[in-house]
Chain A
């Protein structure tokens, strides 16, 4: 029998911010962009959640819900460092660790010869003590139930601190555990599927588990059959060691005021490409698709993309992104949001070159720049050629104070 752990760091960004600034403890605060800059909530403290604040909500709306909300700008390089540390701790329990996001992982601890609850407590204690971060765990016989168990356990928590929950579903009891939960708790059931299921008289996972596979297949196709499987607590996906590879990496920027300033737009593209290539370097990835996203003042949003042979060259990605921008911005409309992304990601295996010292030199420069940024912040180091544009921008913003 397998024993699978799902671990999730509780309000991860907020927990890190509390470590940095203990005065935030117990307060209503949110990590994300500032409301003046049309920012969005990335993570919010449990105290703020009591007011109905949740992640992905516009910061201005969050402040309307919770007027005392303290907003904290995120420092993603710091979060990455913490995340690395947590994953390193997890790997001491088993090599079968599958990282699924910056703050989430599955562990296959079937071969660890102590009880499920004991191992869960051991993992939680180590993460609490060594990384000083709260975390919640769900433990069950497969990934599906472990994850749902964890969500359920965290959901039971009420208060201003962190859940630091541990929920174990005993083998054989999966279907019982799932029976009374709403169908929305299942992976793959979004609002649309949930409302269609509701129309069919299916509101709990238990209802779904005993529904006729034929009917489900007719209504939802193959997905319908999988839903019935899942509702019965059946899932045989293994834990893939290593981080599950991201399918795409992207970043967006919303301008505080819609802009038609070409220099500013290009500067943003360059900055985002820098961040993206840094993340690609962290994960040793190359991309074969570059895309840009533009949202005009009227919220109409367009994306444009281009394929290239797999690359992690910052200059090339920037060139491609800017050439896409040139095409898309032919009408010079005011831009509300600009985003750049890469996809078609693959792990790098590079044939090293005997003479191409230039390439190796560049690689060393990028690696060093990435290191410095992780330690001292995003914009502390940049190429001389980017300095000019930054300076011009600064001068202009000084001339026209907001």
Chain B
């Protein structure tokens, strides 16, 4: 193999695929990145067997071929090179890659490309086309609510349901549920119910970049995999096997108290309260009090035995009975971070039952959060 690429494109490609590297695997080749010529472009691939990311960059190919090199060495080297053309030349006999850029010549010892696990090729005809900016927003609004607890793999995933032109994403860690509904640009005639690792979805959002070109999702029949494809990058992920919890039965049908806030004002108050609350158990007590003839006053208070205490008042509009309820302030802040409307609504029934945050005037997003029990 002998190819020439630009340093910038190579560095960018490597930054995408290196997220799928398995640095401490028992299989040494998984710590490597695959470089291969592929129909006039250079293909970069990495996999940890649960997820594989591939990226194609423009290249001047003098000789076809493939090799794998240790990701860490190669990534560090490329990022230290000047912004010039980089020539990659493999010495097949010794499985060595010669990297040449400006005055730098480096030989990196690699592993035969044959040892790299095969990566499935999607049948794009069978795919569902997703609008990149919509889908990225949907991902951003749910994945943070997924669990990081390895003991419950199902909760590390996001439930994706597609029914013809309807699409929904749901994630929960047992304390909160993020539900985002969306529509596809056209009828697909397809129906899918998949649990995709939240991490893979975040990476899918990254590889999609800011392109206008749609992201194509393919679910190869009975392989337990999902593939996201753009012209320049592709991600394959194993699906999570199991039953996603019945979140709909948990979501309250109605609420007694409804409080409307300015989203930035509440977010700011939560950030302030979190400075004190994070030193304790992250608790912020929200006291919603009606104000005679005016808007409601909502007092957020946080307390930490060691650090001190904090009280912040936010204006709001209240309908229904007054309420005192405590939350993990991190949960509030993370939900508010992904609500893009000027106003946000908090709805609740009691201090020990699920509450809901949703953007005012937008039914597509609902975030259920369980309160905290305090004295």
Say whether B132 faces chain A, with CB atoms less than 8 Å apart: no
Residue contact B172 to A349, C-beta cutoff 8 Å? no
| A interface, size bucket | 10 to 19
Say whether B37 faces chain A, with CB atoms less than 8 Å apart: no
Stretch at the interface among A87-95, A121-129, A290-298, A350-358: A350-358
Q: Which of B328, B368, B373, B374 contacts A354 (CB 8 A)?
A: B368
Say whether B177 faces chain A, with CB atoms less than 8 Å apart: yes
Chain B residues closer than 8 Å to A354, beta-carbon distance: 172, 174-177, 250, 354, 368, 370
Say whether B270 faces chain A, with CB atoms less than 8 Å apart: no
Residue contact A355 to B352, C-beta cutoff 8 Å? no
Q: Report the minimal beta-carbon distance from B174 to chain A, rounded to whole angstroms.
A: 5
Per-position 1/0 for B246-288, Cβ under 8 A of A: 0000100000000000000000000000000000110100000
A348→B281 CA distance, assembly (Å): 9
Chain A residues closer than 8 Å to B245, beta-carbon distance: 355
Say whether B375 faces chain A, with CB atoms less than 8 Å apart: yes
Say whether A284 faces chain B, with CB atoms less than 8 Å apart: yes
A289→B328 CA distance, assembly (Å): 25
Residue contact A356 to B174, C-beta cutoff 8 Å? yes
Which chain A residue has the least Cβ–Cβ distance from B373?
Answer: A350
Chain A residues closer than 8 Å to B352, beta-carbon distance: 352
Chain B residues closer than 8 Å to A349, beta-carbon distance: 280-281, 283, 326, 372-375
Chain A residues closer than 8 Å to B280, beta-carbon distance: 349
Residue contact B374 to A353, C-beta cutoff 8 Å? no
Among residues 98 to 145 in chain A, which have CB atoms less than 8 Å away from a CB atom of chain B?
A: none
Chain B residues closer than 8 Å to A323, beta-carbon distance: none
Chain A residues closer than 8 Å to B326, beta-carbon distance: 349
Q: Report the minimal beta-carbon distance from B3 to chain A, rounded to whole angstroms.
A: 52
B residues touching A (Cβ–Cβ < 8 Å)?
172, 174-177, 245, 250, 280-281, 283, 326, 328, 352, 354, 368, 370-375
Say whether A248 faces chain B, with CB atoms less than 8 Å apart: no
The 10 nearest A-B residue pairs measured at CB:
A349-B374, A350-B373, A352-B370, A349-B283, A349-B281, A351-B372, A354-B250, A354-B370, A353-B174, A349-B372
Q: Which of A284, A351, A355 contacts B250 (CB 8 A)?
A: A355
Chain A residues closer than 8 Å to B250, beta-carbon distance: 354-355
Residue contact A352 to B375, C-beta cutoff 8 Å? no
A350→B374 CA distance, assembly (Å): 7
A355→B172 CA distance, assembly (Å): 10
- Given contacts A352-B175, A354-B177, could you give 7 more A-B pairs where the C-beta distance is less than 8 Å? A349-B280, A349-B281, A350-B373, A351-B370, A352-B373, A354-B175, A354-B368
Say whether A347 faces chain B, with CB atoms less than 8 Å apart: yes
Q: Report the minimal beta-carbon distance from A29 to chain B, rounded to whole angstroms.
A: 37
Q: Report the minimal beta-carbon distance from A97 to chain B, rounded to whole angstroms.
A: 15
Q: Report the minimal beta-carbon distance from B102 to chain A, rounded to whole angstroms.
A: 55
Q: Report the minimal beta-carbon distance from A2 to chain B, rounded to whole angstroms.
A: 22
Per-position 1/0 for A330-353, Cβ under 8 A of B: 000000000000000001111111
Q: Report the minimal beta-carbon distance from A367 to chain B, rounded to whole angstroms.
A: 12
Q: Which of A348, A355, A356 contacts B373 (CB 8 A)?
A: A348
Most buried by B among A284, A347, A348, A351: A351
Q: Report the minimal beta-carbon distance from A363 to chain B, rounded to whole angstroms.
A: 9
Chain A residues closer than 8 Å to B281, beta-carbon distance: 349
A354→B370 CA distance, assembly (Å): 6
Q: Report the minimal beta-carbon distance from A322 to chain B, rounded to whole angstroms.
A: 25
A349→B284 CA distance, assembly (Å): 10
A-B contact pairs, 21 of them (CB 8 A): A284-B375, A347-B375, A348-B374, A349-B281, A349-B326, A349-B373, A351-B328, A351-B370, A351-B372, A352-B352, A352-B371, A352-B372, A352-B373, A353-B174, A353-B175, A354-B174, A354-B176, A354-B354, A354-B368, A355-B250, A356-B174
Chain A residues closer than 8 Å to B375, beta-carbon distance: 284, 347-349
Which chain A residue has the least Cβ–Cβ distance from B370?
Answer: A352
Chain A residues closer than 8 Å to B177, beta-carbon distance: 354
Residue contact A350 to B372, C-beta cutoff 8 Å? yes
Which chain B residue has the least Cβ–Cβ distance from A347?
Answer: B375
Q: Report the minimal beta-carbon distance from A283 to chain B, rounded to whole angstroms.
A: 9
Chain A residues closer than 8 Å to B368, beta-carbon distance: 354
Which chain B residue has the least Cβ–Cβ distance from A350?
Answer: B373
Q: Report the minimal beta-carbon distance from A309 to chain B, rounded to whole angstroms.
A: 12
Chain A residues closer than 8 Å to B374, beta-carbon distance: 347-349
Which chain B residue has the least Cβ–Cβ distance from A284?
Answer: B375
Chain B residues closer than 8 Å to A353, beta-carbon distance: 174-175, 370
A356→B354 CA distance, assembly (Å): 13
Chain A residues closer than 8 Å to B371, beta-carbon distance: 352
Which chain A residue has the least Cβ–Cβ distance from B250?
Answer: A354
Among residues 10 to 66 in chain A, which have CB atoms less than 8 Å away from a CB atom of chain B?
A: none
Q: Report the minimal beta-carbon distance from B175 to chain A, rounded to whole angstroms.
A: 6
Which chain B residue has the least Cβ–Cβ distance from A348?
Answer: B373
Most buried by B among A347, A352, A353, A356: A352
A170→B253 CA distance, assembly (Å): 62
A347→B283 CA distance, assembly (Å): 12
Residue contact A355 to B283, C-beta cutoff 8 Å? no
Chain A residues closer than 8 Å to B283, beta-carbon distance: 349
Chain B residues closer than 8 Å to A352, beta-carbon distance: 175, 352, 370-373
Q: Which of A284, A348, A351 contacts B175 (CB 8 A)?
A: A351
A351→B372 CA distance, assembly (Å): 4
A347→B172 CA distance, assembly (Å): 27
Among residues 273 to 296 in chain A, which have CB atoms less than 8 Å away from a CB atom of chain B?
A: 284
A348→B283 CA distance, assembly (Å): 11
A353→B174 CA distance, assembly (Å): 6
A347→B175 CA distance, assembly (Å): 20
Q: Report the minimal beta-carbon distance from B332 to chain A, rounded to whole angstroms.
A: 12
A349→B373 CA distance, assembly (Å): 5
Q: Report the minimal beta-carbon distance from B104 to chain A, rounded to whole angstroms.
A: 51
Chain A residues closer than 8 Å to B174, beta-carbon distance: 353-356
Most buried by A among B177, B352, B354, B370: B370
Which chain A residue has the least Cβ–Cβ distance from B375?
Answer: A284
Which chain A residue has the least Cβ–Cβ distance from B245?
Answer: A355
Chain A residues closer than 8 Å to B328, beta-carbon distance: 351
A284→B352 CA distance, assembly (Å): 16
A353→B245 CA distance, assembly (Å): 13
A342→B151 CA distance, assembly (Å): 29
A356→B155 CA distance, assembly (Å): 14
Per-position 1/0 for A348-375, Cβ under 8 A of B: 1111111110000000000000000000
